[in-house]
Amino acid sequence: MTEEAPHYRVAVIGSGFAGIGMAVRLRQAGLKDFVVLERSDGIGGTWRDNSYPGAACDVPSHLYSFSFALNPNWSRTFSPQPEIWDYIKRVASEHDVDEHVRHDSDVKATHWEPDRNRWRLETTRGTLTAQFVVSGAGPLADPSRPDIKGIDTFEGRLFHSAEWDHDHDLTGRKVAVIGTGASAIQFVPRIQPKVARLTLFQRTAPWVMFRHDRDITGPERWLYRNVPGAQQIARKSIYWGRESYVLGFAKNPGLLKVVERLGRANIDRSVKDPELRRKLTPSFRAGCKRVLMSNDYYPALARPNVDVVTDGIVEIRPNSVVTRDGSGREIEHEVDTIILGTGFHVADPPIARRMFDPEGRSLSEHWGTDAQAFRGTTVNGFPNLFVLAGPNTGLGHTSQVFMIEAQIRYTMQALKFACRNRIDRLEPRARAQRAYNDMVHESMRGTVWVTGGCDSWYLNEEGRNTTLWPTFTWNFALRTRWFDPHNYELRRIRSARRSARKKTVAV
């Protein structure tokens, strides 16, 4: 006789900010019948995996944290990776989430069983079932590797920044760095003094602003620990300051000329060579790609042992990277180490290829190149599924944790509604999802993300921004403040009859 797979009310995938935040709220609601599936042997998600030198957050510490678990002991205004990872682990421990985490449980496939109104999850540690599934596998979970001819023939050491090889000593090495995103601008200054030669292969120059980072003083930490509301005031002031960026990004991109002047001043401050300045000056509107922050990136690139190469890479050979210049001439750059700073599968998350509807069609196939969700959280055709950090919930200006908490609140309201009303199946109506996404993309018109003149990972193949939220985050928080059952198909337990609902669609 086959043993019945363990069943849970809720299965949460991932144990980063999204997964742990969801688990905490489930515990606080009194629901203990849930499991957190973590593919690694430790929790933390992105902040566990990205341990490269210099890894830190580019959102101020007081805002990059849960609203229900403020940390008065941050050491710096922009938190380093070890502190953020410790924070996530501490929150999980203090809220008794650890006992729900099932480690080394990589989700290989998730199938909806329509006859039983539940999900069946195949993991590396066996099968389980769940009434509801919450995906907390965020957009920065799976490294993206470039498709470059010959990359598999390289005989030196090659690794992605999110899989940093700490056993590989870079001292005296000839290192190639491919990519100039948020990770590269942090680790390049840290490794530059060690290496013999650093060759940075830059496809597009990013906008890099001066970062006002400093130690948080002892008296400040005392104030946050002992004066009620002090840290909340600091947090809210940071929040509203960051929200003001939307005025330039989404309302009047002309305001970003001020940001561009600051960016050019940051280059001029550190780089004296005119040719290098030219290479490092972006050719698109600030904000079109993510605006980065660093005080030591440009000074590192100006050092004698660094070359910035803007010619396209055509091939990787066993001991070199080959580029082609404007005249068609191939140039071979000898290297013994290649570090990929090439980002993540944001627009095509691998978890979407492992979730299947009743017909066996994956969420990835369902989306194609145009990922859509209702409230960025639920998907028509995939009942009882909630996707945290889903389509059009990303940000280019403030804390992603804010958006995750808004989605968690919406998910919890849906789960409570299902419990109170004996609902075992809920799925957003196709019409509601379509109207919501039409609103999102109409709001995207005129924003810097679609008019800024760059080719960013925010956009899909058709040039639609399926990644970012197009306006103020408080607007998203309002839209997800209450669960809206009239926008859903609902099925009551022990009844095939659908309950009566309103016919209007509210977006």
User: What confidence tens digit (pLDDT) does each residue in 401-431 have?
Assistant: 999 999 999 999 999 999 999 999 999 999 9
Percentage of the chain with pLDDT > 90? 89
Q: State the pLDDT at residue 459.
A: 82
Question: What topology does CATH give the domain 151-214+245-340?
Answer: FAD/NAD(P)-binding domain (3.50.50)
Q: Which CATH superfamily is domain 7-142+345-492 in?
A: FAD/NAD(P)-binding domain (3.50.50.60)
Q: State the pLDDT at residue 457.
A: 77
- The residue whose two tokens read 């760095």 is 177
Q: State the pLDDT at residue 500.
A: 39
Cβ atoms of residues 370 and 360 within 8 Å: no
Q: State the pLDDT at residue 462.
A: 79
Alpha-carbon distance 369 to 32, whole Å? 37
- As a whole number, mean pLDDT of residues 302-316 equals 98
Provide the angle, in degrees to the nearest 10, between the axes of the packed helices 81-94 and 17-28. 20
Percentage of the chain with pLDDT > 70? 97
**pTM above 0.85?**
yes
Cβ atoms of residues 263 and 208 within 8 Å: yes
Q: Within 13 Å, how many C-alpha atoms sit on residue 479's CB side?
A: 21
- As a whole number, mean pLDDT of residues 17-35 equals 97
- As a whole number, mean pLDDT of residues 12-29 equals 98
- As a whole number, mean pLDDT of residues 42-66 equals 96
Query: Nearest CA to 45 among 123, 101, 99?
Result: 101
Question: Residue 496: pLDDT above 50?
Answer: no
- As a whole number, mean pLDDT of residues 20-24 equals 98
pLDDT tens-place string over residues 227-262 = 999 999 999 999 999 999 999 999 998 899 999 999
Question: Residue 494: pLDDT above 70?
Answer: no
Count of H-run helices and E-run strands, the chain: 15, 20
Alpha-carbon distance 425 to 431, whole Å? 18
Q: State the pLDDT at residue 461.
A: 78
Provide the angle, in degrees to the nearest 10, between the axes of the packed helices 400-420 and 17-28. 40
7-142+345-492 and 151-214+245-340: same fold?
A: yes
Q: State the pLDDT at residue 491.
A: 92
- Give the confidence band of 304 by pLDDT, cuts at 50, 70, 90: very high
- Indicate the burial class of 166 (C-beta count within 10 angstroms; 0-12, 13-18, 19 or more): exposed
CA distances to 269, 347, 351, 393 from 376, in Å: 41, 13, 16, 6
- Indicate the burial class of 200 (C-beta count within 10 angstroms; 0-12, 13-18, 19 or more): buried
Strands 488-492 and 423-428: antiparallel
- As a whole number, mean pLDDT of residues 271-284 equals 96
- As a whole number, mean pLDDT of residues 75-96 equals 97
Alpha-carbon distance 482 to 500, whole Å? 19
- For residues 452, 456, 458, 463, the Cα torsion angle rounded to the nearest 10 degrees is 70
- Indicate the burial class of 121 (C-beta count within 10 angstroms; 0-12, 13-18, 19 or more): buried
345 or 377, greater pLDDT? 377
- Indicate the burial class of 3 (C-beta count within 10 angstroms; 0-12, 13-18, 19 or more): exposed
Q: Which residue ranges make up each domain of the chain? A: 7-142+345-492, 151-214+245-340
pLDDT tens-place string over residues 147-198 = 999 999 999 999 999 999 999 999 999 999 999 999 999 999 999 999 999 9
Cβ atoms of residues 337 and 347 within 8 Å: no
- As a whole number, mean pLDDT of residues 111-137 equals 96
Mean pLDDT (the chain) is 94
* Alpha-carbon torsion (400, 401, 402, 408), positive or negative: positive
Q: State the pLDDT at residue 223.
A: 97
431: which 2 tokens?
């019409």
Spell out where 400-439 has E strands: 423-428
Question: Residue 502: pLDDT above 90?
Answer: no
Question: Residue 501: pLDDT above 70?
Answer: no
Alpha-carbon distance 238 to 244, whole Å? 10
Beta bridge partners of 133: 11, 385
- Give the confidence band of 369 by pLDDT, cuts at 50, 70, 90: confident
Q: State the pLDDT at residue 463.
A: 80
- As a whole number, mean pLDDT of residues 313-341 equals 97
- Give the confidence band of 503 by pLDDT, cuts at 50, 70, 90: very low
Q: State the pLDDT at residue 349.
A: 86
Question: Residue 276: pLDDT above 50?
Answer: yes
Query: Nearest CA to 78 among 94, 96, 99, 55?
Result: 55
CA distances to 308, 321, 322, 425 from 421, in Å: 61, 62, 63, 11
Q: State the pLDDT at residue 14.
A: 97
- As a whole number, mean pLDDT of residues 194-223 equals 96
Alpha-carbon distance 291 to 398, whole Å? 11
